[in-house]
Structure 1
Amino acid sequence: MTNNWQGYTNKMLFHSRLLLDAWEEEADDLAKPAFREACLNAMVQAYRSLLAEIMTNYRLPVNQLPSLDEAINSVHLKGEVSTELQFIERLEQHDSWLSALLKSHQDCSMPIQRKSVDKNEIPLFNADSVRFDQPEGFHSVLESLKELVTYSRNFSLEW
């Protein structure tokens, strides 16, 4: 897999789409939370696989899905600066679709706790908000994730 992160990213984007479609169209009420969490997991795996793609563009060995910090540190240790990773870092640190995705994924990765309805509201694209408890909220995030993958791949083709 270390040489085919692009294929794995594409696979996870495809899985995200299938899970989102199943959540919207096919799932009964009991299965919807499972499809939601599976979709979140696949989207985060696609994101982290994109980080692995970027690392391999810098000829760094990647044996597992890295975090953003791991990717940045590896590139810096090589004495390089990655514009793609800097862009992604800004997305993670600000009110963006990516920070909302990671927060929602983190929330579902924790033991169940009582949450107020307000905690389901996750700010995206600065002023707008989307609900991550409904499939509609995932559509824009999935499209943004695909755009980020395309941006990063186009950027790496330039050099």
Structure 2
Amino acid sequence: MRITMVVDGVSYTDEVEPRTLLVQHLRETLGKVGTVVGCDTSNCGACTVHVDGHSVKSCSMLAVQADGCEITTIEGLARDGRLHPVQQAFHDNHALQCGFCTPGMIMQAIDLLADDPDPDERTVRHGLEGNLCRCTGYQNIVRAVQDAAHRLKPAGERQPEHETVGGGE
């Protein structure tokens, strides 16, 4: 079957088998290997991408279902050599260890922040519950998402950073 999709701003038209998963097409045909194959059962969320602006576990969607869609992968987030604010917040807050879940976590976090630009800890945890991390206690991931929320606000809406108690004198 012939499909056309825009992936990370580039239009692709390819012949695909009807049973090809979107994650397989992205990785094997288009070389978007930042989209990770985790569990193949949609339980872990490592393969999360954006389809028409919303997070989707790409192992649960056929490539033919994405015909005519706009797909954003982890590779499509950085602009002009600068990380997306959520990517930068994950880096700055040490919100990864092995990094396997990180692309899916970041993609899900972006979707979460689009729905709720100022989430509390509970909202972040709930919003990421479909994405699993086996290395961390999620503390730094939650911190990173809340930091990214701050970074994504227009400069005039940002609250001043609070000093750490007993911090660094």
Q: Fold-level match, TM-score > 0.5?
A: no
Structure with the greater alpha carbon radius of gyration: 2
Which structure features the higher share of helix residues?
A: 1
Kindly indicate which of the two structures has a greater share of residues assigned to strand: 2
TM value normalised by structure 2: 0.27
TM-score by length of 1: 0.28
